[in-house]
Chain A
Amino acid sequence: MKAFVALLSRDLGGSQLGAGGLGVLFFLAVVVLLPLGIGPRGDVLAQIAPGILWIAALLAALLGLESMFREDFETGALEVMAMSALPLEAVVLAKCLAHWLACLLPLAILSVPCGLLLHLSVGESLGVAIAMLLGTPAFSLFGSIGAALTLDARRGGLLALLLVLPLSMPPLIFGSLASGGEGSVSSLLLGTGLSLGALAVAPFLSSAVLWTRLRA
């Protein structure tokens, strides 16, 4: 547990911090540019706001994937982690948690003021934020699979995006459906279910993929 926390704080302070900051900038840029591109009409903006916020969050999360394993793999730190007492699955979990805390938690919080800027009501903005809190862990967890697969690939970041995109469509669909409108409670439950399912599956898949690379 101590090793888990140490790893988490190391990643949060180091590699994920920059990616998270970049993600926040990206998210804010989308929110500011959206009315300029679409026009300032409040009803139109309010209608597309939840979907746009979710898409921006997904792309921002994908931006941070490259820093999840790559640097540690290149320096050999990942091998040391794999040899430590901490199972590799727990290492993956720590890295997913660090990615989520740095890249997605700030966006879930920011979606409240950003929703208000895009003419959502307070309740709707809070709805988006809650849906993001429960649904976006799936992005980090599925993303870890893509990051593990493209560990030493050429143009790995872009490739990880292509690989993770189909995996992240279900969370995106249920997430933006859960952000208000009819059927939002059942979508919220399904989105949460996807996150929990990803939590059960992704660490094992990612560490299996990482092992094939570390043994070689």
Chain B
Amino acid sequence: MTPLINHYAHPTHFMRVSGIALPWLAVASIVALAVALYVSLFVAPEDYLQGQTVRIMFLHVPSAWLALGGYVAIAIASVTGWIWKRPLADVAARAIAPTGACFTLIVLLTGSLWGKPMWGTWWVWDARLTSVAILLLLYLGYIALWNAIEEPTLAARAAGALAIIGVVNVPIIHFSVSWWNTLHQPASVLRLDGPTIHPTLLMPLLLMFAALSLLMVTITLARMRLEILRRRTRMLRLRSAQA
């Protein structure tokens, strides 16, 4: 297993394999996204309480899973990069971040679009909402730290440390925000997880999750290739400057 991973963790092999896989993945994610959009917009029935607005949830919920999952993936890639000194893991961590930040933004935007007709307000300082807003802040800090340090290996160490600290900190933030919220206002009756979800609504949700996951993998691979090329260009420039 390990030799196999070592083999594909080498940037040259990665570039070759990902170059072959990327067009297929791109086509697959476009098709999957089209199917998932069609099912969630036209096939899925209206909710008897939420009406058409329930369709927002088909985008909102999978985005929330991917926003959180993306941050955890960054942390895992950072640990891998730190312990086993794999540059490709650092490249992956950096490549995931903008997509994860976008999904976090989508969660916040679709959430407030849904909240306006359903709760009657764009935003409440609910523990969950606040935690997601802080997650966006964590993403932005992570991206900014990568951009602020010129030397890639140094930037990888610093950003990796931040990701690991952040992932430990997320539960603490969530706990403290819940504590703060429950003391400041009565427990919210507005809950997303009311009755168990009906299969006709679960189907488009899972389809959309699959489509968005494919899309995230595709974008991440493309960004990883871009980053590797960027690093090679940087090395060439440095070499030609030294010569």
A interface residues, Cβ below 8 angstroms from B: 145, 149-150, 152-156, 159, 162-163, 165-167, 169-170, 173-174, 177, 182-183, 190, 205, 208-209, 212-213, 216
- Please tell me which stretch of B33-41, B146-154, B214-222 contacts chain A, meaning at least 4 of its Cβ atoms lie within 8 angstroms of it: B146-154
Name the interface residues of B132-162: CB closer than 8 Å to any CB of A.
134, 137-138, 140-141, 144-145, 148-149, 151, 153-154, 157-158, 161-162
List the count of A-B residue pairs having beta carbons below 8 Å apart.
Answer: 76
Q: Which B residues touch A152, using CB under 8 A? A: 149
Q: Does B121 contact A (CB under 8 A)?
A: no
User: Chain B, 160-188, contact with A by CB distance < 8 Å: what is the 0/1 string?
Assistant: 01100110010011011101100100000
Q: Point out the residues of chain B lying under 8 angstroms from A167, CB to CB.
A: 165, 169
Contact (A216, B145) CB under 8 Å given A169-B173, A170-B173, A173-B179: no
Contacts of A162 in B (CB 8 A): 137, 140-141, 144
A25 to B45 alpha-carbon distance, docked (Å): 61
How far in angstroms is the closest Cβ of chain B from A179? Answer: 13
| CB-defined contacts of A163 to chain B, threshold 8 Å | 141, 145, 162
Return chain A residues, CB-CB under 8 Å to B141.
Answer: 159, 162-163, 165-166
Dominant secondary structure of chain B at its interface with chain A: helix
Taking the closest CB of chain A, its distance from the CB of B185, in whole angstroms, is 13
Kindly list chain B residues whose C-beta atoms are within 8 Å of the C-beta of A213: 154, 157-158
Q: Is the CB of A159 within 8 A of B144?
A: yes
Which of A149, A173, A212, A216 is within 8 Å of B176, CB to CB? A173
CA–CA, A7 and B168, complex, Å: 31
Q: Which 3 A-B pairs have the closest CB atoms?
A: A153-B148, A170-B176, A212-B157
Listed in ascending order, the chain B residues whose CB lies under 8 Å from chain A are 134, 137-138, 140-141, 144-145, 148-149, 151, 153-154, 157-158, 161-162, 165-166, 169, 172-173, 175-177, 179-180, 183
Assess the B161–A169 pair: CB atoms within 8 A.
no
| Chain A contact surface mostly | helix
A155 with B148: in contact, given A169-B177, A205-B165 (CB under 8 Å)?
A: yes
B137 touches A165 (CB 8 A): yes
For the complex formed, measure the closest distance between the CB of A63 and the CB atoms of chain B, giving whole angstroms: 18
Complex: A190 Cα to B180 Cα, angstroms: 12
Taking A159-B145, A213-B154 as known contacts, 16 extra A-B pairs with beta carbons closer than 8 A to each other, sorted by chain A number, are A145-B165, A150-B148, A153-B148, A159-B141, A162-B144, A165-B141, A166-B138, A167-B169, A170-B172, A173-B176, A173-B179, A174-B179, A190-B176, A209-B157, A209-B158, A213-B157
